[in-house]
Structure 1
Amino acid sequence: MSKERIFELIRKEEATLFVGAGMSLYAGYPSGAKLAETLYKNLTSDLQKELDFTTNLPKLAEDIYYLKGGNKNYLIEILKKEFQKPPTTTEIHQLLAKFPQIKTIITTNYDTLFERTNKNLEVIRKSADCATANPKKQWLFKIHGDLSDTSNIILTNSDYNNYFVKDNENSIFWNTIKTKLVENHIVFSGYALEDSNIMVIIEKILIELGDNRKEMFFIAPTIAPAKLKFLQQKGIEYVQLTSEDLIKELDEDLKYNYFPGLSRGIGSADAALNFAIGNNIKLDLSKSNDAYIINNVSSIEGIGKTEVKFNIAGEDENTKKIIDSLRGKDFEDICLSGDILKEYNHFFNGIRINSQNDIKSVYIKKVPSLFGLFDIVCEDGFELDNYHLEIFIANPNESEAKMKIMANDFQILIRIVFPKNLKNCKFHIEIVPSKAIKSVKSGLNFYSILSRITSNQRFKFFQENKLIFNYKEKIVFDEDAFDARYLFNYFNKLKKLEKHFDVRFLDIDLDEISEKRMKFIMAYIDKIILDEEFNGMTFENKNKKEFDYLTEEPGKDKALIISEKQKSIYNLHGIDFTIGYFHKYIQDAYIENIQDLISNKTKEFSMKSRSNTIFFQFTDSETMISHQ
């Protein structure tokens, strides 16, 4: 639990990291004991004989210092050789640089791993640095100094003794460190309690902080029983972990738990924004009371990856359908109600953005298996370029496949049933047009292709110059399946109307198709005469001149023309078309009851056609132009 407590305190931005040499071992830099060994081995054999070797680095360095006549040049030379060489890797410090939740790091290390990997860092080596340090950046206190100022490096016993004299302790540098240690919990990492210097530091901190200190943790892979007792007596929690594993596990914890905590008031806006930037994420935050709400996330560079993870409660039939759909057995979009959603988590670029249990509903829109602009080439040479398609594929079971093709204003639903011998597959195809087809071009493009496919032509799909699909096996369709040829011709006629009348059809409803109106309008454009079956008509005529004309010469056929006095207007898909005067013509009309009319037995004419045919024509003039 101590490890989880450390992670919690870091998420709250309430922990100071105290770092020793063990944090730099992975990068190829020496531990204190290894550095002591190097100092000893590089001495001449004569000097080695005058020394009692010890891994106690301050003591050994002190002895060498005096053997060298009170000169540190040899010690500094070895330090430069060991710590100015390039690191073998900076992986752990690169991770650590992404943790703005750690406001303060205190280190006894001489290397520059922190500076190499963190641009958002203020390095503080002396009191003067405190005054100019940017409070919004991470602060690194190098309490043993480093090779940028060799005169102030702390290495020998004398250095340590002089370092903790009263005047030093009351300096701005040390008072600033004390403030950080009082305000925050302390996590020691990279130290071994066999190092006398860390024992001195811990004792000094305990004395300085007294009863005001907060929690303290000591991270190490192993520890001797006696040293463990020491920690326990001092109230310091021991956590068995390497420094590398601490940082790696902290990285995982922050990625999973930090952002969700913002909505509960844990964390600051600055740390959240910087943590996001360090992980290639741009955040849009808003404040709500003492909490922060993440309104939007996006990638700073490249395309971001969004993931949603959740559990579904219950095992009813509806739940089974949802699970089947999520597993790719269906391609329909899914709406999940809050009743069945449990542990809803939203991830972006591998980082958990939020976690909720009070979601009202989640709508999951399926992503097509294939989408984009395609070139379609048919067997007869017809080509359609840059045609936008979205293709969804689902596999309900081993013997069945489903496909949904979204083509602008149309859906094609295909169900394929595979027999055991994989021959003679059964295809079930359904065409679902949109309620309103956006334009004539949209309909014409679709039915240009569909009419050819249903005419049993082969075709190919290309995308970005690559052959995506080559259809060779011919499905035998019924005559004019899906009314494809009929609708292809219909949209061709609409295109002709657009060109002739300078209009544009929009949102075309196929349920509003009127064959009669289309036929009349096309007859006007093409200046043709229409004919249809005529089974007779009855009417009264009180005009004596017309009555006499109709009844004279009883055995002779009449030519009858009926013209409307106003131009005809027909509405097609929301557009009114004025198409001239409407004329009806019967060239072989006769009066079936002419004798009854002559003898005044009736006043109602019964007219018929010898050929049972009546002709129609639309003209711009009030009189008929021609007739058959």
Structure 2
Amino acid sequence: MIEDQEHLFEKILEMALKGKLILWAGAGLSMEAGYPSGGQLAELLWQRLSDTEKQDLQIDLLKVSDYYVNHQENGRKELIKTLTEIFHKKPQPSDSHEIINKMAFIKTIITTNYDKLFEEHILDIEVLKTSKDLTRIKANSRKLIKIHGDLNSPKQLVLTESDYSKLYGNGRQDPFWSKVRVELTEKGVIFIGYGFNDLNVRGLFEYLHKKLKRHQQPKYLIAPNLSNPDKAKLESYGIQYLDCNGIDFLTRLYQEWKTTGFMHLGSDEVDTDGLINSLKHEGLSDAISIKSGGGRLFTYNPVPGKAWNLTVTSDQEEFGKRINDWQKGYGADDLFIPKQIINEAILKIGDFVVGNQETIPEFRFFRQGRIHDKVRIVFFESKIELENLNVRSYKYGEAGLKIIVSDQYACFTIVIPKISTSNFTYTGTIKPKEICESVSGLLKWYDAINALGNGEPFKIYSKELPKGYQDANGGSFKNAEGFQSTRLVFQVLKEIEEKFKVRFSEIKEKEIFSEGTLKRLNEFLHLFRENRFKPDYANGLPVRSISDDPEKDVIPLINKANKDGFLIFLSDQNNVSLLNQEIQLGKGQLFIEKPILENMSSKTNEMIIKSGTNNYFVFYEAFGLATFKDHKND
């Protein structure tokens, strides 16, 4: 293509990336599958006439069709029968239709062809032939608009000059043509498979130009070797011309789109659905997870076996050393390569270019490890069992192993520096799943880790894990003590469940370990252990006088409490909201030892009461209310 042609191609590619491109397909596309062009079809029909009938009959599709209908017995029926015989043969493979099937960014195809090549190649495409079809079409589906009908619906076939006159003359009021016009006013059009020397094609272009007028989007005719007069005529219809073979154009457009689309993902310039659907058409992914920002693709989940093709070049030794060490298994962690030591990188899913050194935020190679499903671990002394575990094992350096054990509750990482059947030391970390489904399930994990820390023997039931770990007696866990405080959190939650007949489920880890929740759980811990807890009233307790004269009601009360030792406040009902559960504590008592009065204001009746010994105690009915005698000697 020359420079002006390249500019036109770039404009078409831009519309393709946005999903704003219509393919208008003519008979030339069907010729690749062995079907006739419009001119060839006219000649085939003409050849079936007698010599007398052929005289003075021009070989033109509309004129020959008119002759069949108007001058032969059961003319229209015979014409349809003849067309059915011509198009009934098995089509040859069509590269053009295979490519168009994959071009999910082309969501609307309009054709004047009678054959079923598009329906056979694009299985999920929906066909529109009349206004009645509009009611069943899904909003985001790929659509094939057959404006001349097809042989499955003979009554709707557009064959003769009178058929053309009805179709293009009355289209203004027809909902079917209204749909076509809406599509053409919203998207650009590429015409492929049309010969400009066909008078019927010229009539179609002229009709569209008149109907769309100022509302029309860019239109392009893709065809080779058009003459200058024909180019000028095209221009008068508002159609731009690309001198190119149809299959060559489609192939290049698809390849350019594949190498460009993902590079702009996340911007308004790209139709994301079109990209994902095209991956599916090539069998590359049926569940790809995408997060985009600033046009960058962050996460890919391709189908195993059809995942990655990453080409990276670097002239620094550090790059080669990191890759070699990682391949040999030195370290079980992911491999991170700084972008600064990368000269060039091209990342592909199949043939789709999805990133390079500019758009990929970081180069990190994740270790997948060997996967073992349905593993069972049993601690015989404490009788703890963990079942249906997913285990990933990794080579760790020369002779070690890293194991990641997980289920729906938590993930536990174990590092064993050297493989041995006994006298080895574990190090590791535990991480609850982001959503906690069951307190009991997670607590069982912490109990298992506690058993590890105590050196308790255990057995792993798995056919695939290394033999030395199927009976791991003698191992000990080096840093289990760090888990005790976290375990206590879930222990308190479990005790709350049992006492108050509630169940905590689907709670987020960050909610469990929030400052407010931990404070509340600490209060429950003291209630369970001591039947009371000590609130923090460092700034005192604000109270108000019931009457207008605190000298008569508050101060005598404070003096009497000082003599007795405690001031007691009572409350009728106390309900606590904890992790989406309502905990009913019942009546409450607040004991303040050696109360003193501060900051009394006669104007507002507002006072601060503090404990002279900084001792405050809270009791609840659910854990047993207290009496004065219970605390007189505390």
Q: 1:205 to 1:59 in 2, by over 3 A?
A: same
**2:393, 2:401 within 8 Å by CA — same for their partners in 1?**
no
Q: Quote the RMSD (CA, aligned, Å).
A: 3.8
Q: Name the counterpart of 1:439.
A: 420
More helix by share: 2
Q: Name the counterpart of 1:86.
A: 90
Q: Name the counterpart of 1:398.
A: none
Q: 1:406 to 1:113 in 2, by over 3 A?
A: farther
- Asked whether 1:40 is paired with 2:46, we answer yes
Q: 1:363 to 1:129 in 2, by over 3 A?
A: closer
How far apart are residue 279 of structure 1 and its match? Answer: 1.8
**1:325, 1:331 within 8 Å by CA — same for their partners in 2?**
no
Q: Name the counterpart of 2:10.
A: 4
- Residue 299 of structure 2 aligns with an amino acid whose one-letter code is N
Q: Name the counterpart of 1:348.
A: 349
- Residue 140 of structure 2 aligns with an amino acid whose one-letter code is K
Aligned match for 2:277, one of 250, 274, 277:
274
**1:438, 1:507 within 8 Å by CA — same for their partners in 2?**
no
**1:389, 1:408 within 8 Å by CA — same for their partners in 2?**
no
- Asked whether 1:52 is paired with 2:51, we answer no
Aligned partners of 1:295, 1:203: CA distance in 2, in Å?
Answer: 48
How far apart are residue 326 of structure 1 and its match? Answer: 7.6
Where do residues 518-533 of structure 1 align in structure 2 (5 Å cutoff)? none
How far apart are residue 506 of structure 1 and its match? Answer: 5.4
Unaligned runs of 5+ in 1: 373-387, 392-403, 411-433, 444-494, 509-628
1:140-199, Cα deviation, whole Å (9 max, x unpaired): 11001110111221122222122222x333200000100000011111111011111211
Aligned partners of 1:324, 1:288: CA distance in 2, in Å?
Answer: 32
Where do residues 21-420 of structure 1 align in structure 2 (5 Å cutoff)? 21-48=27-54, 50-54=55-59, 56-68=60-72, 71-165=75-169, 167-280=170-283, 281-286=285-290, 293=297, 295-299=299-303, 303-310=305-312, 312=314, 319=316, 322=319, 336-341=337-342, 344-355=345-356, 357=358, 359=360, 361-363=362-364, 408=400
Aligned partners of 2:83, 2:308: CA distance in 1, in Å?
Answer: 48
Q: 1:208 to 1:168 in 2, by over 3 A?
A: closer
More strand by share: 1
**1:273, 1:283 within 8 Å by CA — same for their partners in 2?**
no
Q: 1:294 to 1:140 in 2, by over 3 A?
A: farther
**3-state SS of paired residue (2:106):** coil
Q: TM-score, normalised by structure 2?
A: 0.55
Aligned partners of 1:360, 1:192: CA distance in 2, in Å?
Answer: 49
**3-state SS of paired residue (1:151):** helix
Aligned partners of 1:306, 1:194: CA distance in 2, in Å?
Answer: 48
Aligned partners of 2:422, 2:168: CA distance in 1, in Å?
Answer: 86
1:285-340, Cα deviation, whole Å (9 max, x unpaired): 456689785523221xx52231123454xx6xxx2564698899x97997542224
How far apart are residue 112 of structure 1 and its match? Answer: 0.2
1:73-94, Cα deviation, whole Å (9 max, x unpaired): 3321221112222211144323
**2:298, 2:360 within 8 Å by CA — same for their partners in 1?**
no
- Residue 59 of structure 1 aligns with an amino acid whose one-letter code is K
Q: 1:234 to 1:342 in 2, by over 3 A?
A: farther
Q: Which protein has the larger Cα radius of gyration, Structure 1 or Structure 2?
A: 1
- What percent of counterpart residues are identical? 24
**1:390, 1:407 within 8 Å by CA — same for their partners in 2?**
no
**3-state SS of paired residue (1:258):** helix
Aligned partners of 1:37, 1:325: CA distance in 2, in Å?
Answer: 70
- Residue 242 of structure 1 aligns with an amino acid whose one-letter code is N
1:104-148, Cα deviation, whole Å (9 max, x unpaired): 111000000111121221100001111221112111110011101
Aligned partners of 1:12, 1:348: CA distance in 2, in Å?
Answer: 21
1:418-442, Cα deviation, whole Å (9 max, x unpaired): xxxxxxxxxxxxxxxx983143369
Aligned partners of 1:331, 1:127: CA distance in 2, in Å?
Answer: 65
How far apart are residue 18 of structure 1 and its match? Answer: 0.7
**3-state SS of paired residue (1:440):** coil
**2:342, 2:357 within 8 Å by CA — same for their partners in 1?**
no
Q: 1:283 to 1:158 in 2, by over 3 A?
A: same
How far apart are residue 240 of structure 1 and its match? Answer: 2.0
Aligned partners of 1:15, 1:358: CA distance in 2, in Å?
Answer: 26
Aligned partners of 1:272, 1:26: CA distance in 2, in Å?
Answer: 27
